[in-house]
Amino acid sequence: MPTVPAAREALAILRLLSAQAGPIPAAVIVRELDLPRSTVYHLLAALADEGFVTHLPEDRRYALGIAAYELGTGYSRQAPLQRLARAPLAELVDRIGHTAHLAVQHGREVIYVIEERAPGRPPLVTDVGVRLPAQLTASGRAILAALPAAQLRALFGDPSAFVMRTGLGPRSISGLRLLLVETRRRGYAVEDGEVTPGWASVAAAVIDHSGHPVAGIAVTFPAAGMPEARHERIAQLVTRTADTLTRRIGGSPPARPASA
């Protein structure tokens, strides 16, 4: 590779990291990009300082950081995703009679960008523009369950990341991992009283063309008195809606259990 400005070299590192199945050693970057070892380490340090690269010292490897993820999903967080999502969300609300919303990830939080309120239903905490801890919400859990393990560890490696609202929810990364394993097994995420007492939600992730979760679609309903069959039906319709939006943005819906 010929000598190029530092900006091009940094972008080349980010492209290489984005094409990998997992974190890689700096030596691989040196070899693949044919860059001086000192240059690679200097650029990796600068990218890590800005959050675009995560250094995993115990593995002696590097992976994309939170800033790279946020940059990569920025397009989908903006108006195009919202325009494409409004009709499917409105149809979902018409079919189930409960409020639905679309949320996107921003670091350890989710931001609600659309709310389709069902007629006669009370306002919820998930109003447009509200931020909530991702690990507590159904939308956030659906998104987190689709992230690579290294990305999850970069987000929640610090115990201070586990913010509580009602005293319920995961309090450590090991607890969160167990919850996300169950989410993947089930095919959708659930939350019951962890955001607002007495209210529960189910959610599924929207996946882009590269396999990354760009949003979560969720429905929130009163937790008490909900028959199990009704709960399963809501989850089924939520996953179908998420898969519809996934196809609209050029992604491939994930394989889900037959009951999802």
pLDDT in tens, 211-233: 889 999 999 999 887 788 888 99
User: Tokens 């909530």 belong to which residue?
Assistant: 132
Is the pLDDT reported for residue 260 higher than 70?
A: no
Is the pLDDT reported for residue 120 higher than 80?
A: no
112 to 103, 223, 234: CA distances (angstroms) = 4, 21, 20
CATH 1.10.10.10 fits 6-65, yes or no: yes
Question: Which of 58, 13, 57 lies closest to 33 in space, CA to CA?
Answer: 13
Is the pLDDT reported for residue 196 higher than 70?
A: yes
Question: What average pLDDT does range 155-170 have in this prediction?
Answer: 89
Residues 6+ apart with CB under 8 A from 22: 61, 63, 148, 150
The reported pLDDT for the residue numbered 118 is 86
The reported pLDDT for the residue numbered 106 is 87
Residues 6+ apart with CB under 8 A from 107: 66, 70, 155
The reported pLDDT for the residue numbered 71 is 74
Is the pLDDT reported for residue 158 higher than 50?
A: yes
* Mean pLDDT across the chain: 88
Query: Residue 177 — pLDDT band, cuts 50, 70, 90?
Result: very high
Question: What average pLDDT does range 11-15 have in this prediction?
Answer: 92
Question: What average pLDDT does range 254-260 have in this prediction?
Answer: 70
What is the residue extent of each domain of the chain? 6-65, 73-248
Question: What is the CB neighbour count within 10 angstroms for residue 82?
Answer: 17
What is the percentage of the chain residues whose pLDDT exceeds 70? 94
Label the pairing between strands 99-106 and 61-64.
Answer: unpaired
Instruction: Check residues 73 and 16 and name the one with the higher pLDDT.
Output: 16
The reported pLDDT for the residue numbered 2 is 45
Q: Which fold would CATH assign to domain 73-248?
A: Beta-Lactamase (3.30.450)
Report d(CA 210, CA 212) in Å as an integer.
6
Question: What average pLDDT does range 235-240 have in this prediction?
Answer: 96
